[in-house]
Structure formats: C-alpha cells, structure tokens
Chains A and B, each alone.
Chain A
Amino acid sequence: MKLQQKEEPLPDLLEKDQPLLEVKDLSLSFRQYREGLRETDLQVISKLDITLYKKEIVAVVGASGSGKSLLASAILGLLPENAFLRGTINFKGKPLSPERQEHLRGEEISLIPQSVSALDPLMKTGKQVQAVIKGKNKKAVQQEIFDKVGLPSKTSNSYPFELSGGMVRRVLAATSLASSADLIIADEPTPGLDPFALKETVNYIKQLAENGKGVIFITHDIETALKIADKVAVFYAGQTVEIAKVENFCGSGENLRHPYTKALWNALPQNGFVPLPGSQPLLSEVAEGCIFHPRCPVKTDLCKKKQPESKSKNGEMVRCFYA
C-alpha cells in the first residue's frame, strides 16, 4: 500500500535481516497478596522467546495458562499494574519501553479483536475503516481496500447490524489492512468458528501478511495454527519449548523435536487422539529441571536436575536435551 511505503523507505533486503519483533528471555511475574497481608511474586512466564519478521505469520500455540495471552498483553503494554516484566522486547531493532508502547499502540502495533462485536454499532462501516486511514483521499483508499477483501462498495454505507457475520469479519479485515500497523497481534480470533467462517478468517489474516505486515496469531487450536502460519511457537507453562516450521507437522510427528509438540500433534482426533497423562504445572511447582519432565515420556535423570537451554537453528528453536 502507498501509505506504508512512505513510512518505510528501507529496501526489502535490509528489512528481511532485521526482525520486526524480537522477544528474548522474557519473564513475567505478578505481585500478589497471599494469606492476607504478605506480598509475594508469582512467576508466570520465564524464558520466553519469539522472533517475527515482516510478511511472516507466527502462531503461538499452548494450553490455557501457558502464558500466550500474557505475551500479547506484554507486547501491547496492557499488563495490569501488579505485573513485573524482565527481559528483552525489541520492535524494529529498538527496545520497546512503556512510553514507546503507548506511542506505537494502534499506530504500528495493533490487535485484532476476538469478536465481531468490536465494531461500533452506531457508525457506518465505511467511516469506521476510514477512521484508521492516515493521509488524504481516505474515501478512495477505503474503497480500494473493500475491493481487495471482496466487499461490495455499497457496504460502506451499511451499519454493522445490517451485515452478515462473514461480511462483518471482512470489515474487520479491512480495518486491519487499512491501519498503518506493521505488527498485528491476533488473540484467539477463531474459537467456535465453523469451517467456512474459519477459512474466511484465515484468508484475511494471510492477506495481512502478504501486504507486508507481521502477524502473531495466538491460539490453543493447533489445527488452525497450521492452516495459517509459517512457523509455530509452542508454549508450555510459561516457556517456549519449540519453534517449528509448519511443514514439520506431518505423519506421526517424527520431524517435531520437542516431546510436548509431538504430544500435541498426536492428540488431534485425526492423528490418533492420544492423551498424554498429567497436567500443565505452575512454573513454581517444578522446582528444578526441565519444566516438562514430570510428563515427559523420554525423560532421563539429567532432565530432573538441569534446565535445558534453547537451541536455535534456521529460525527454528527447541528447548530439550535430546532434540
């Protein structure tokens, strides 16, 4: 889009080298009151890594309580006051300070809302999309974007309640496309969608990436993640255990490197429906060793004593001694 090129004069090659977003060794704890008056720190994320380039979609997959939604809040600077963050978050090569977050939120970093009710019910859809467009000729730019997502031009004069669910989803897509944001965070935008609606949402998020934006797609549903993403980051109990390319999710998971990723893959109904016993612990419950060792089918004594460091190669990463 014209507008973005004005703001980003760097040639494509240079940009490819520098990650859009780089999260390194992030840890997060909450100050809490326990037993009345004593304050304690509750650790919820440790050693979280994720890297995102332009035109890339990285899916963040994990169970509830794995810290995936907290990551979104951390990047957007929307954590509650009692949260305490440590580590590095770099956006376009520069650290993301609270002041910078405030400045960039909605401008260069934006969030895709979970539900279709996020549109203003009292404003015509065309106006809502124009509101996020910067510069002149808003009407024309909005018309162009509506064409792109397949909305008839008369839709711009409709109110949200006059549109079907699918049309509203396209309006949301148009809003994200129209915004100047380079980094888009989608937090669970797809639960409970039937295959048709799901496909539509997946298509529009892919369109965002094709337009040069980077997308972090947060979900608990590995199937959707595989349909949409280039890479999948698997979170477990507040840690990144593996970042794998989508192609590696195939067969019975022999190309996957971390045992938890394998378990996730093989637990899908179409892949054997195998339930891995046990449940995800709190970070504080596993005192030493690998966070996954209590449930790991291939653990050794080493795993009980020492935390594995992350091993990175070709943009992939794994945190396991035996990968």
Chain B
Amino acid sequence: MSGQEMIGANPSVNSKWNLRRQTLAIIVISVLLLAAMTVSGFLIENEKLSVNLEARNSSPSLDHLFGTDWLGRDMLARTLKGLTLSFGVGLLTAFLSTIIALFLSLLSSWNKKIDHGVTWLIDLFISMPHVVTLLLISFAIGGGFKGVVTGIALTHWPSLTRLLRAEVMKVKTEQYIGVSRQLGKSRWWIACNHYLPHLMPQIMVGFILLFPHTILHEAAITFLGFGLSPEQPAIGIILSESMRYLSTGMWWLAFFPGLSLVIMVGIFDLLGNSIRKLIDPFHGQR
C-alpha cells in the first residue's frame, strides 16, 4: 500500500547483545570474580601465611605482589584469606538479616496491633546510630566471631523490613487475598503463596545489597578492636595493624587490602543492581 511509513524506530530484534544479555553477562562476571576471590582464599595454605623474617618489610615485587609485612608474611595471601573471611561473615549476616526482615514483614500482615509493633521496632532501630548499636551488641555478647555476626545480623534488617512491609501492606488490600480467605485458606498458606511471590524480587536484591553493608561494618568494628580477634586474618585486623607502620612509609600494607575490600564491595553492589534491572518490571522488557 502506498504511503506506508515507519512510525518510530525498530531497533534490531534478536540482536546478540540485547540489554538482558548484557546484564546477565555482568552478573555472570561478577559471580565468577567473587567466586575466584573466595575460592583462592580457601586454597592458600597456612605456610604462605607463616612468618619469614628474611623477607620482611619488602615493597610490592613480582615475588610478593602486595608486598610483605613486618613479619615477612605475604600480603596477597593475607588479603585473600581476609576477603574469604569477610565473605563468610557477610553471607551469614546478610542471610540472617534477610530472614529477620522477611519474618517481621509477614508478621505485620497478621493484624493492626502486630503491624504497629513491627513499625515501632523498625523506627527504634533506624533512629539509633548503626555502628553504636552494633558495637554495643557485639561487646555485650563478648566480641569475637559470634559477637560480630549477632551484632551485624541484629542491626541490618530494618531498612529491608520497611521495604518488605510496604509491599505486604500493598498486597494485603488486593481482592485476591480476600478471595483466598473465602476459599478457606489459612493465614500461613496465604503468606507463603500470595505474599511471598510478591516479596521474592525485593528479598533477592535486598539480600545481595546487604552484603556490602555487612562486610564494611564487619571490617569497621574489627578495625576498632571490637570485632574478630587479632589472630584471625580479617581485613579489619590487617588495616588496623598497618596503621602503626604507615608512618614509616609502608603504604602497601593498607593500600592493597583496602582496595581489594572496596572492589569486592563494589562488585556486590553491581551484582545487586544488575539483578534488580533484570527483574524490575519497568526495565524488564526493554
């Protein structure tokens, strides 16, 4: 037919690098990098960490890429070990926080009174300075691995809970919830089958984005001396120990471990945001 014309452009369909594939590639690369960091930390034998006084205080070289410390320990090996430990602590605490957030948000769907209680709890925890609460809890429990994990898990749930609770409140007013109740379904059944699918995307993204927070906070309180014990090769320990040697010009002691930590946190952030892009309804079909 004459006068046939195109309205709007049609970007090539089935192109090899559509946005979804790009995002997926970023996710895969991030996961691989994180896996490489963690696995290499596991593979490093303890003798790599042993004291070697002949090679102490050497600046970065081909033998010791990140240099060595005042006892001649290889900083690359220490950093990788530290990152693995950070990853473990981050995984555990982010997981625990997410569970708490999920439990509380589903609880708030029960009735108005419980919802008020949950909201009050969220406000209480958000109004207190994060690190202070964290320190108090960790200190009260007696520090160490247990103290850090409990402290971080108990302080990182509020913002995610607030997000999930809002979603629960929105779904609660939907007609299909009422229909489900008329069909004789229990609150528990409705929570698992109606609410959970709506919360899943938020939970996944929230979980991944909690990682950088928990890892940094673990490093922070360990650095301040309230966290993991000094024998453990945590990044926070490495950084706080290196403070004493920085003035003598041994910059590599703090620079490489710190940079590695920032990179790891950055990758988690990228991963979380990529996953969000993939499941967000507003970006999903682009």
Q: Which residues of A contact B (CB under 8 A)?
A: 24-25, 30-33, 37-41, 79-89, 95-98
Q: Which residues of B contact A98 (CB under 8 A)?
A: 7-8
The 8 tightest CB contacts between A and B, nearest first, are A85-B7, A84-B10, A82-B285, A39-B14, A88-B3, A39-B13, A25-B1, A85-B8
The 12 listed contacts between A and B (C-beta, < 8 Å) are A32-B285, A37-B24, A38-B14, A40-B13, A40-B14, A41-B13, A84-B10, A85-B7, A85-B8, A86-B7, A95-B5, A95-B7
Q: A38 vs B18: C-alpha distance in the bound complex, in angstroms?
A: 9
Decide: A24 and B20 in contact? CB cutoff 8 A: no
- Please report whether the interface of chain A is mostly helix, strand, loop or mixed according to DSSP: strand
Decide: B286 and A81 in contact? CB cutoff 8 A: yes
Q: Which residues of B contact A86 (CB under 8 A)?
A: 4, 6-7
Q: Which residues of B contact A31 (CB under 8 A)?
A: 13, 285
Q: A82 vs B284: C-alpha distance in the bound complex, in angstroms?
A: 10
Q: Which residues of A contact B13 (CB under 8 A)?
A: 31, 39-41
Q: Which residues of A contact B7 (CB under 8 A)?
A: 85-87, 89, 95-98
Closest A residue, CB atoms, query B285:
A82
Closest A residue, CB atoms, query B14:
A39
Q: Which residues of A contact B286 (CB under 8 A)?
A: 81-82
Q: Which residues of B contact A38 (CB under 8 A)?
A: 14
Q: Min CB distance, B24 to chain A, in Å? A: 7
Contacts A33-B20, A37-B21; is A87 near B4 (CB within 8 Å)? yes
Give chain B interface residues in 231-286, CB to chain A under 8 Å. Answer: 284-286
Q: Which residues of B contact A39 (CB under 8 A)?
A: 13-15, 18
Q: Min CB distance, A74 to chain B, in Å? A: 8
Q: Min CB distance, B283 to chain A, in Å? A: 10
Partner of B3, one of A24, A84, A96: A24
Q: A31 vs B10: C-alpha distance in the bound complex, in angstroms?
A: 9
- Beta-carbon contacts of B64-85 to A below 8 Å, as 1s and 0s? 0000000000000000000000
Give chain B interface residues in 1-31, CB to chain A under 8 Å. Answer: 1, 3-8, 10, 13-15, 18, 20-21, 24
Decide: A37 and B20 in contact? CB cutoff 8 A: yes
Closest A residue, CB atoms, query B283:
A81
Q: Which residues of B contact A95 (CB under 8 A)?
A: 5, 7
Q: Min CB distance, A298 to chain B, in Å? A: 28
Q: Min CB distance, A89 to chain B, in Å? A: 7
Closest B residue, CB atoms, query A74:
B7
Q: A98 vs B10: C-alpha distance in the bound complex, in angstroms?
A: 13
Given contacts A41-B13, A79-B8, 20 further A-B contacts (CB under 8 A): A32-B285, A33-B20, A33-B284, A33-B285, A37-B20, A37-B21, A39-B13, A39-B15, A39-B18, A80-B285, A81-B286, A82-B285, A82-B286, A83-B8, A84-B10, A86-B4, A87-B4, A87-B5, A88-B4, A89-B7
Which of B18, B24, B285, B286 has the largest count of A CB atoms less than 10 A from its CB? B285
Q: A39 vs B18: C-alpha distance in the bound complex, in angstroms?
A: 8
Q: Which residues of A contact B285 (CB under 8 A)?
A: 30-33, 80-82
Closest A residue, CB atoms, query B284:
A33
Q: Min CB distance, B286 to chain A, in Å? A: 6
Closest B residue, CB atoms, query A98:
B8
Q: A308 vs B96: C-alpha distance in the bound complex, in angstroms?
A: 64
